[in-house]
């Protein structure tokens, strides 16, 4: 970001007016005017910007998020701000009525040469808006989209306004930016000798592919090449080929060398091709057009014709030469008339079978074979021959002339007039497609009554025709009007992405991960008392690229920030990596400042899928179903029978069958997920998640510079804070967090420079006997004045006890201040309510899960069992060189972590 002096110099350079300077200054120091929430099908979220030093909102991950990535990479962009200002606009509707409304552009962009408000939209959306609001959006004579009302409003501030379209986004370049994001900061260092060797190889072999470079220099890894590309030591056109395809990515010494090879490629002589064993003595044709060999090198051969270049491998060209007689002919399907081609596509299997039989008989007749008159008459045969010749002359493919065209026979005109169908549509709209959900027979009776009252001259269609017509109407629209949008979601058309865009599941592991919660289909009991505790909640972190489950956490608490914290802790504990993008739903726990701050600390982008649209999280929703059918439904106490609630008896009730406790279930669930499911063949991948994970690490690099240490600092960073974020240090009392007093174990609160100051604080939601305070550039452990009574007590248990004490005070019409001593005495007494006791048992069960987490992975041996080293070497070839130990880690600047804003975190 610009400093104040740099900003003033920039304003003077552009000669901005006073009103423009005031507006831009206000935007730079203010929060966005609104918080984006996405739409029915938009994936919104927040992007951690390095250039801006804060998170930037985006309303669509297909339009605005790529725009943010482009701003980040563009050196001309100095600053940019999301949702910067509300513009007052006015325009006339299509009916001539004056409309006044507010419009919020997506970004205010400060460039070296100008300042502009930019609004990003898809061209399809603009075409729809232009039809509804022709005076708001329109396409000018130069093919540029305009928004005159917003442009006029922006001009009053001396700022230009511009509409940006989705077709400006180069999706290959966007994917490559994502691919190289972890290398651009220079945290990964390449050995100097190896770097020189790689650059010399690329300089001596311009156009060498990444795969060929790795094969020629065995000591190099994919990480080394990624780092060289990121810092510009070698060049490749990142707008042309995705870096995830090493066989196609060509490397050059610099941009000028690449342009020279594109403008004037060194054609290889023909005798070199003969060395490959290819016959080139006769001319080649491609789609009926002559081609010449433009370039041959590496593993591909480039052919040139009038339409451009065609790149083939040696094997593909060899097959082309072997089929020279076929290739030389024009493809009849491509050059036939559209009429005959449509007839062929519309032909049924029976029509094709009849045409095949006719072709075999006609072929024998033309070859002079004797004809059996009992099969077909000579007159019919002459008719087939005539039809075959006619089709051959018209479209160069006589076969289509033999199709029987049964679908064109008969009377296809409707007996019901157009006016009658409009009358029926009106009855359906008014009576059937409503939230009353009237039956078909009842609506047909209304149709008969209204038909008679209107005295229509034609006959009313039968109930069979009416029912058939109901099924032919748009089922999504019909279900939505009868049952609502959520019920109609199952009938919505599946979204097929036909253009190249960012992959839905990423290009590599840890690029896109999903977090979601589900209540497991099993009843559990307490391991200490045998008391029924209910159904547990599972929080899952899943890698979208490999479908591998990265972390699992079980507890009896409903979804909250505590579950999110624990699942991310487990991920770092097992892999020492933090996800780059996390996809979540619109749960309250994902919207908290605590969760967003944690993601921003580790440069993680948050994407929120549209509400009530589970298809956007299909990868993790599928795992929930698989885990239920393969694991949970085979355990005693599962809740399958509750789907038929009338069949439940006291004997077969899941509550009476419950025998599992939370610790045992977590242990076996982890074994199933991390060992069994991880090695099962996934139908969408064609391989197991473990193999896909290892292949992804091999193709994209292990990225050791993105390692996150599972140390005490990370543990503190994953703890929540209070709504204020800080606590005041008081003399002789310490700090007060959640109405409880704490004192620093090193007595740093006695320091006169610390006393009376506000210090950032964090607390452990599972143990309220301790909190952490950031004093003198270090996190200090603070203990409660009633440490022994609060030890092991969760924040939920203390909340339950506090609520019970308030309730007792209200019943007695007393004003009892809730102090630490009062709460501690109540928790230690025998008068604790049943709800508090039940919460205590649930917390003890959760402690068993956390104890397993601590015993399963020890900090001393995590590097030896790290999936990026140990499992990777098991899957790949054993003759590959061993990889160096991971020693780098993500650097966290504690001083620049901002406290939370005023937002309720008790969820």
Q: Are 601 and 594 in contact (CB under 8 A)?
A: no
Query: Does residue 305 lie in a domain region?
Result: no
Question: Could you tell me if 557 and 621 lie in one domain?
Answer: yes
Q: What is the pLDDT of residue 600?
A: 86
How many other CB atoms sit within 10 Å of the CB of residue 463? 14
Tell me, yes or no, whether 342 and 433 share the same domain: no
N-term to C-term CA, the chain = 35
State the CATH number of the domain containing residue 37: 3.40.1350.10
Dig out the tokens for 104 from the structure.
């919020």
Tell me, yes or no, whether 322 lies in a domain: no
Residue from 822, 762, 838, 816 nearest 790 by CA = 822
For the beta carbon of residue 311, count every other beta carbon within 10 angstroms: 12
Residue 547 in any domain: the answer is yes
Neighbours of 540 (CB within 10 A): 21
Same domain, 34 and 159: yes
Q: Is 693 in the same domain as 838?
A: no
Same domain as 474, residue 348? no
Q: What is the DSSP string of 635-660?
A: STTB-GGGGSGGG--TTT-HHHH---
What are the angstrom distances between the C-alpha of 558 and each of 438, 518, 607, 907? 39, 9, 22, 9
- Give me the pLDDT at residue 817, please: 55
Taking alpha carbons only, the member of 636, 641, 649 closest to residue 524 is 636
Torsion angle of C-alpha atoms 794, 798, 804, 805, degrees rounded to 10: 160
pLDDT of residue 902: 32
- Residue 92 lies inside a defined structural domain of this protein: yes
Considering the domain boundaries, does residue 817 fall inside one?
Answer: yes
Q: Are 446 and 590 part of one and the same domain? A: no
CATH number (domain holding residue 487): 1.10.10
> Could you tell me if 33 and 161 lie in one domain?
yes
| Contact assessment for residue 80 and residue 115, using Cβ atoms and an 8 Å cutoff | no
Instruction: Report the alpha-carbon distance of residue 541 to residue 570 in Å, rounded.
Output: 9
**Domain with 464 in it:** 418-491
Domain count of the fold of the chain: 5
Residue 684 and residue 556 share a domain: yes
Residue 889 tokens, joined: 């880690």
Residues 517 and 643 in one domain: yes
Helices marked H in 576-725 — which ranges?
593-601, 618-630, 654-657, 662-671, 689-700, 712-717
Give me the pLDDT at residue 281, please. Answer: 45
Q: How far is CA 387 from CA 402, 690, 816, in A?
A: 7, 59, 100
CA angle, 795 then 798 then 799, to 5°: 85
pLDDT at position 795, please? 72
Residues 6 or more apart whose Cβ sits within 8 Å of residue 657: 523, 636, 637
Q: Please state, in angstroms and rounded to a whole number, the distance separating the CA atoms of residues 804 and 835.
A: 9
Q: Burial-class residue 396 by CB neighbours within 10 Å (0-12, 13-18, 19+).
A: middle
The whole-angstrom separation of Cα 776 and Cα 750 is 13
Q: Are 25 and 79 in contact (CB under 8 A)?
A: no
Assigned domain for 10 exists = yes
Same domain, 541 and 426: no
Let me know whether 682 and 741 are in one domain: no
Q: What is the 3-state secondary structure (H, E, C) of 603-632?
A: CCEEEECCCCCHHHHHHHHHHHHHHHHHCH
> How do strand 44-49 and strand 77-82 relate by DSSP bridges?
unpaired
Task: Evaluate whether residue 325 is within a structural domain.
Answer: no
- Output Rg (C-alpha) for the chain, integer angstroms: 35
Q: How far apart are CA 626 and CA 134, in angstroms?
A: 50
Instruction: Among 130, 151, 169, give the residue marking a domain's end.
Output: 169
b/e for 272-284, b at 16 or more Cβ within 10 A? Answer: ebeeeebeeeeeb
Q: Would you say 197 and 676 are in contact if contact means Cβ atoms under 8 Å apart?
A: no
By C-alpha distance, which of 622, 603, 592 is closest to 516?
622
Q: Distance from CA of residue 637 to its chain's centroid?
A: 35
Q: Do residues 889 and 862 make contact, with C-beta atoms less than 8 angstroms apart?
A: no
Kindly report the CATH number assigned to the domain that includes residue 635.
3.30.420.10
The count of residues in the chain is: 907
Is the same domain home to 734 and 839? yes
Per-run averaged pLDDT (10 residues), the chain, 907 residues:
90 93 93 82 87 91 92 93 94 89 94 94 91 90 91 93 92 91 88 93 89 91 93 92 90 87 54 43 54 54 58 59 39 46 74 87 79 78 87 77 80 82 92 92 93 89 91 88 82 56 79 92 85 90 93 87 87 92 87 82 88 74 88 89 82 87 88 91 90 90 88 82 83 82 89 89 84 89 84 73 62 56 60 62 70 56 37 36 35 40 32
The last residue of one of the domains, among 408, 433, 461, is 408
Residue 186 lies in a domain: no
Contact between 520 and 654 under an 8 Å Cβ cutoff? The reply is no
Among residues 21, 121, 9, 3, the alpha carbon closest in space to that of 63 is found at 121
Which domain-ending residue is among 352, 385, 408?
408
């Amino acid at each position: 970001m610009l400093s104040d002096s740099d900003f003033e110099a920039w304003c003077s350079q552009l000669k901005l007016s006073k009103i423009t300077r005031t507006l831009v200054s206000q935007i730079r120091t203010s929060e966005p005017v609104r918080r984006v929430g996405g739409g029915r099908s938009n994936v919104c979220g927040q992007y951690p910007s390095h250039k801006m030093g804060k998170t930037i909102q985006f309303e669509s991950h297909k339009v605005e998020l790529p725009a943010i990535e482009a701003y980040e990479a563009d050196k001309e962009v100095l600053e940019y701000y999301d949702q910067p200002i509300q513009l007052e606009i006015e325009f006339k509707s299509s009916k001539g009525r004056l409309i006044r409304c507010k419009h919020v552009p997506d970004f205010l962009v400060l460039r070296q040469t100008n300042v502009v408000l930019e609004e990003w939209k898809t061209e399809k959306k603009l075409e729809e808006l232009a039809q509804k609001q022709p005076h708001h959006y329109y396409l000018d004579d130069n093919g540029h989209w305009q928004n005159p009302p917003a442009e006029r409003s922006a001009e009053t501030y001396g700022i230009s306004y511009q509409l940006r379209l989705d077709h400006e986004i180069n999706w290959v370049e966007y994917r490559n930016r994502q691919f190289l994001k972890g290398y651009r900061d220079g945290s990964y260092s390449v050995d100097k000798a190896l770097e020189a060797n790689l650059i010399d190889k690329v300089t001596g072999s311009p156009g060498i592919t990444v795969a060929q470079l790795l094969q020629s220099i065995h000591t190099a890894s994919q990480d080394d090449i990624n780092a060289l590309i990121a810092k510009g030591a070698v060049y490749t056109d990142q707008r042309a080929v995705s870096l995830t395809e090493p066989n196609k990515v060509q490397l050059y010494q610099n941009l000028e060398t690449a342009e020279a090879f594109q403008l004037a490629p060194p054609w290889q002589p023909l005798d070199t091709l003969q060395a490959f064993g290819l016959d080139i003595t006769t001319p080649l044709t491609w789609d009926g057009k002559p081609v010449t060999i433009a370039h041959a090198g590496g593993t591909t051969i480039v052919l040139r014709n009038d339409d451009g270049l065609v790149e083939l491998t040696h094997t593909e060209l060899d097959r082309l030469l072997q089929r020279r007689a076929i290739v030389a002919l024009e493809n009849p399907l491509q050059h036939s008339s559209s009429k005959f081609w449509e007839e062929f596509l519309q032909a049924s299997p029976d029509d094709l079978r009849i045409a095949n039989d006719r072709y075999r008989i006609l072929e024998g007749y033309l070859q002079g074979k004797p004809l059996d008159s009992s099969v077909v008459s000579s007159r019919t045969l002459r008719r087939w021959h005539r039809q075959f010749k006619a089709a051959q002359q018209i479209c160069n493919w006589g076969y289509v002339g033999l199709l029987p065209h049964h679908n064109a026979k008969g009377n296809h005109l409707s007996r019901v007039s157009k006016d009658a169908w409009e009358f029926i549509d009106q009855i359906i709209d008014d009576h059937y497609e409503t939230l009353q959900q009237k039956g078909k027979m009842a609506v047909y009776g209304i149709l008969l009554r209204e038909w008679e009252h209107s005295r229509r001259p034609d006959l009313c269609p039968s109930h069979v025709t009416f029912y058939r017509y109901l099924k032919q109407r748009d089922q999504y629209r019909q279900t939505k009007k009868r049952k609502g949008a959520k019920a109609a979601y199952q009938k919505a058309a599946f979204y097929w992405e036909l253009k190249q865009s960012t992959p839905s599941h990423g290009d590599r592991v840890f690029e896109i991960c999903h977090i979601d919660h589900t209540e497991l289909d099993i009843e559990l009991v307490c391991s200490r008392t045998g008391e029924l505790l209910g159904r547990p909640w599972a929080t899952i972190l899943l890698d979208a690229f490999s479908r591998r489950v990265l972390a699992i956490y079980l507890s009896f608490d409903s979804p909250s920030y505590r579950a999110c914290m624990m699942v991310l802790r487990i991920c770092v504990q097992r892999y020492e990596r933090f996800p780059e993008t996390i996809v979540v739903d619109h749960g309250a726990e994902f919207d908290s400042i605590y969760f967003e701050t944690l993601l921003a600390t580790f440069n993680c982008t948050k994407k929120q899928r549209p509400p009530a649209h589970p298809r956007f999280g299909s990868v993790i929703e599928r795992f929930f179903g698989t885990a239920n059918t393969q694991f949970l439904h085979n355990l005693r106490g599962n809740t399958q029978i509750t789907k038929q609630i009338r069949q439940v008896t006291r004997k077969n009730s899941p509550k009476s069958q419950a025998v599992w406790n939370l610790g045992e279930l977590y242990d076996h669930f982890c074994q199933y997920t991390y060992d069994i499911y991880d090695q099962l063949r996934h139908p969408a991948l064609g391989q197991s998640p473990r193999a896909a994970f290892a292949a992804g690490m091999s193709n994209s690099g292990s990225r050791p510079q993105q390692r996150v240490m599972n140390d005490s600092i990370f543990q503190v960073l994953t703890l929540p804070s209070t709504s204020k974020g800080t606590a005041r240090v008081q003399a002789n009392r310490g700090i007060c967090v959640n109405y409880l007093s704490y004192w620093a174990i090193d007595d740093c609160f006695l320091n006169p420079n610390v006393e009376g100051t506000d210090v950032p604080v964090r607390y452990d939601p599972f143990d309220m006997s301790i909190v952490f305070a950031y004093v003198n550039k270090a996190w200090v452990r603070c203990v409660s004045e009633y440490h022994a009574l609060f030890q092991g007590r969760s924040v939920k248990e203390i909340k339950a006890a506090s609520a019970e004490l308030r309730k007792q005070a209200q019943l007695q019409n007393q004003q009892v201040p809730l102090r630490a001593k009062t709460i501690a005495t109540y928790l230690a007494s025998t008068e604790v309510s049943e709800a508090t006791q039940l919460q205590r048992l649930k917390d003890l069960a959760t402690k068993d899960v956390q104890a397993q987490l601590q015993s399963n992975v020890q900090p001393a041996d995590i590097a030896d069992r790290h999936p990026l080293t140990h499992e990777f070497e098991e899957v790949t070839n054993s003759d590959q060189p061993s990889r160096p130990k991971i020693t780098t880690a993500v650097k966290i600047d504690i001083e620049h972590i901002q406290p939370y804003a005023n937002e309720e975190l008790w969820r």
